[in-house]
């Protein structure tokens, strides 16, 4: 749980770590990239939904809710079961989060390829751009 100020502080901390990883080369620090991009992505979404009144302060979104649904899956995707909120560009935002989370564990625990690290980083940058575009400056 967290207030708007808590979200902003955690987002800023994650952004600093992501930027320092970019400075040395993202392929050199896949663990750092995986951890901070995943955490920051969920914090950004939570902050956006709090600021727009789509979810109450205190509602927590967990990164592991973003498992891409299988083709023909009869059960609602986990994120849809856990988070009942409608908002602009929802499908695009969820798709980016699915991509980040699909690759997260390999970046953190496996042998990530340069392509995977770039895919996660680029997905995060696009997500950040979308959410900032929808709600203005989210974390400064």
In a domain, 87, yes or no: yes
Q: In sequence order, which ranges of the chain are alpha helices (DSSP H)?
A: 4-24, 30-51, 78-82, 90-109, 114-135
In a domain, 140, yes or no: no
In a domain, 106, yes or no: yes
Residue indicated by tokens 């040395």: 24
How many other C-beta atoms are found inside a 10 Å radius of the C-beta of residue 124? 23
pLDDT, tens digit only, all 140 positions of the chain: 458 889 889 999 999 999 999 999 999 999 999 999 999 999 999 999 998 999 988 889 999 999 988 888 888 888 999 998 999 999 999 999 999 999 999 999 999 999 999 999 999 999 999 999 887 766 55
- For residue 79, which of 7, 71, 93 has the smallest C-alpha distance? 93
Domain housing 49: 4-66+74-135
In a domain, 17, yes or no: yes
The domain total for the chain is 1
In a domain, 118, yes or no: yes
CB 107 within 8 A of CB 120: yes
Sign of CA dihedral 89, 91, 95, 100: positive
């Amino acid at each position: 749980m967290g207030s708007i100020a808590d979200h902003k502080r955690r987002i800023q901390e994650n952004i600093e770590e992501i930027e320092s990883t970019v400075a040395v080369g993202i392929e050199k620090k896949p663990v750092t990239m995986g951890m901070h991009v995943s955490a920051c992505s969920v914090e950004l979404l939570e902050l956006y939904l709090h600021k727009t009144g789509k979810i109450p302060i205190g509602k927590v979104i967990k990164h592991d809710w973003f498992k891409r649904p299988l083709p023909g899956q009869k059960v609602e995707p986990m994120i849809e079961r856990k988070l009942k909120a409608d908002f602009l560009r929802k499908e695009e935002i969820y798709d980016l989060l699915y991509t980040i989370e699909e690759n997260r564990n390999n970046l953190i625990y496996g042998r990530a390829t340069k392509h995977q690290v770039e895919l996660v980083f680029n997905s995060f940058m696009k997500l950040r751009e979308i959410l900032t575009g929808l709600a203005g400056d989210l974390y400064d």
